[in-house]
Each structure stands twice: as structure tokens, then as C-alpha cells.
């Protein structure tokens, strides 16, 4: 009897591993997700918060319900449940907080928007208030989060801004002292636009190829075509407001506008975006300064 059971198990194990049982339906007990209750407590009350959260979670208990699934889906679900049992949530939180405190990076964008400006004293009061609120975080303090207390002493803070209407010296002296390293970035050149269009995963050119591919249109960008697109974006930036890489969205949208609207009628066709194609579709946008000024 034991030999028969063992051989039967081996037969089914082999079928399971080969995927021959994937479409079969079985009924299993699935653990219901625990109801999460978020409690924000003042500093020093984290233990009480954890106890309250544990109490609410225990009220729901380890409830489960029967569910009919295919063996393939059930297998994934059971693996996830067993993997979750191996993770100690408290250790995970502690490791995450430690990693944040030692290797964390906080990026503050548009910091120039909180600089003082001439002739607007009422708004400057609120801007200076925001700067003073940032000071304790950057200088080093203990912040209360839902996962515990986090010290910001060793967190790297990086701030950036265009500073077109103001300059870094308009920040309050204390904040300037806490951001000692200053780097001025240069405007994007043609080669930078070429790299943006070719190097990143899912770049703009790849997105349009994939998007039009759903309509059955095969689009390819030649190296010369990419170079011309980059030159067009750079030219419009130089002649009008320099908005950096955002300009590529405008240029690409204008370039691919005709294909995008007629894609359903061109299913099965192949389109090559080369220098001639780019010049034909972007000539008016690049050459007409008044027009390019009003087309974002």
C-alpha cells in the first residue's frame, strides 16, 4: 500500500512539475488579508502604537476561506503565503530604518520657489517659514514615521532649482550653510538629446515604436533621424524658453502626430523616420519662431 502511494505521488509530482496539471481546478483554504489600522502617535509613544496595531490585528485573527483555483494559480498563492511566514516583520522594519538612516537620500526639487523675492514681502514670510521648517531635517533630527523613529543625521539631502527668478544666496544663511556643495548644471547639448532618445530603457522613441506597433504599424528610427530630432529640440530651446529635455515631448508629439492619427488605416505598413521625414514634419515648428513660442 505504501509503495503504491509513493509511486502515485511520484507520478503526480512529475505531472505537476511538467505543467500537465496547470489547468485542473482544486479547492484550497486561502488566508484572508489582515485589516491594517494605521495609528500615528507623537514621539515617544511608538510602543503603545505597536501594541494597539497588534491588538486590532489579533481581533481579526488568522481567518481563511475556501477558494476554487487552478493548480497553477494555487501554486503561486501557496508559495507567497509560505514565503510571508519566513519574513519577520519587526526585523524587516528595523533593517529598513537602519538602511534609511545610513544610506538614505532625500531629493528636494524646486527649492528656488521658496527663495525671497523683491517686492513681495507678504509671500516672503511664508517662504522663509518653509525654509526654517526644512532646517531641522537637514541639520539632523529624529522624525516620527509609522514604522518608527528615523534619525536624519547621516541622510544625504540634495536640493535643486532653476533659480531663474532668484539666486541661491536668496536662501536664508542657515540653510545655505547646510547645503555647502553647489554645482551649476549646463544646458543640454545636441549629443545629450541623442543619448536621452537612445540610451534609457523605454525611451521616447521606443515608446512610439511600441505604441504604433499595437496598430500594426512598424516604425524604425534611423541614427540620422534621431540626430535631426535632437538638433530640432536644441534649436527650439535656444530660440525660445529652454525647458531642457521636456522639449523632446513637444518635438516627438509633433513629429509623430500624423502617423498616430492615421495608424489604424496604415496597419501592416513600415515607416522609417529619417532626416527627410523629420525635416518635412518639423520644418514649420523649427523655422517659425513665433509658432514654436506658443507650442509647448
pLDDT in tens, 190-199: 999 999 999 9
**Reported CATH class of domain 102-178:** alpha beta
Buried b (16+ CB within 10 A) or exposed e, 166-205: bebebbbeebeebbeeeeeeeebebebbbebbeeeeebbb
Whether the pLDDT of residue 243 is over 60: the answer is yes
- What pLDDT is attached to residue 40? 61
Rounded to an integer, the average pLDDT of 213-220 is 93
User: In the structure, what pLDDT confidence band is assigned to residue 294 with cuts at 50, 70 and 90?
Assistant: very low
pLDDT digits (tens, 9 = 90+) for 127-146: 888 999 999 999 999 988 87
Whether the pLDDT of residue 82 is over 90: the answer is no
Phi, psi (degrees; rounded to nearest 5) at 25: -100, 140
Indicate the SS3 state at residue 192. helix
Closest by alpha carbon to 232, among 266, 268, 190? 190
Is 117 exposed, middle or buried (CB count within 10 Å of its CB: 0-12, 13-18, 19+)?
middle
More confident residue, 225 or 32: 225
The secondary structure element, H or E, covering residue 238 is helix 223-239
What's the mean pLDDT when you consider all of the chain? Answer: 84
**Reported CATH class of domain 190-294:** mainly alpha
Least confident of 28-37, 191-200, 215-224, 274-283: 28-37
Q: What percent of the chain has pLDDT over 70?
A: 82
C-beta separation of 134 from 175 below 8 A: yes
Spans of all domains in the chain? 2-86, 102-178, 190-294
Amino acid at each position: 500500500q505504501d509503495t503504491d502511494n509513493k509511486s502515485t505521488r511520484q507520478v503526480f509530482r512529475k505531472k505537476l512539475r511538467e505543467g500537465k496539471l496547470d489547468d485542473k481546478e482544486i479547492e484550497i483554504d486561502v488566508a484572508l488579508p489582515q485589516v491594517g489600522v494605521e495609528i500615528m502617535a507623537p514621539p515617544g509613544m511608538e510602543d503603545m502604537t505597536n501594541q494597539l496595531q497588534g491588538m486590532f490585528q489579533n481581533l481579526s485573527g488568522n481567518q481563511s476561506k475556501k477558494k476554487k483555483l487552478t493548480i497553477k494559480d494555487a501554486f503561486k498563492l501557496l508559495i507567497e503565503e509560505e514565503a510571508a511566514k519566513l519574513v519577520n516583520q519587526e526585523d524587516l522594519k528595523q533593517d529598513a530604518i537602519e538602511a534609511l538612516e545610513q544610506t538614505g537620500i532625500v531629493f528636494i526639487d524646486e527649492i528656488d520657489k521658496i527663495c525671497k523675492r523683491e517686492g513681495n514681502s507678504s509671500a516672503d514670510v511664508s517662504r522663509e517659514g518653509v525654509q526654517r521648517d526644512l532646517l531641522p531635517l537637514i541639520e539632523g533630527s529624529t522624525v516620527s514615521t509609522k514604522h518608527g523613529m528615523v534619525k536624519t543625521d547621516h541622510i544625504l539631502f540634495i536640493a535643486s532649482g532653476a533659480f531663474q527668478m532668484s539666486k541661491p544666496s536668496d536662501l536664508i544663511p542657515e540653510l545655505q550653510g547646510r547645503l555647502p556643495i553647489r554645482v551649476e548644471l549646463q544646458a543640454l547639448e545636441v549629443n545629450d538629446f541623442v543619448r536621452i532618445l537612445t540610451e534609457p530603457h523605454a525611451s521616447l522613441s521606443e515608446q512610439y515604436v511600441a505604441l504604433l506597433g499595437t496598430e500594426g504599424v512598424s516604425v524604425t528610427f534611423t541614427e540620422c533621424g534621431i540626430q535631426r530630432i535632437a538638433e530640432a529640440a536644441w534649436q527650439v530651446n535656444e530660440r525660445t524658453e529652454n525647458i531642457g529635455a521636456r522639449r523632446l515631448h513637444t518635438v516627438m508629439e509633433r513629429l509623430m502626430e500624423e502617423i498616430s492619427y492615421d495608424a489604424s488605416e496604415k496597419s501592416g505598413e513600415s515607416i522609417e523616420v529619417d532626416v527627410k521625414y523629420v525635416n518635412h514634419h518639423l520644418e514649420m515648428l523649427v523655422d517659425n519662431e513665433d509658432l514654436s513660442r506658443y507650442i509647448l
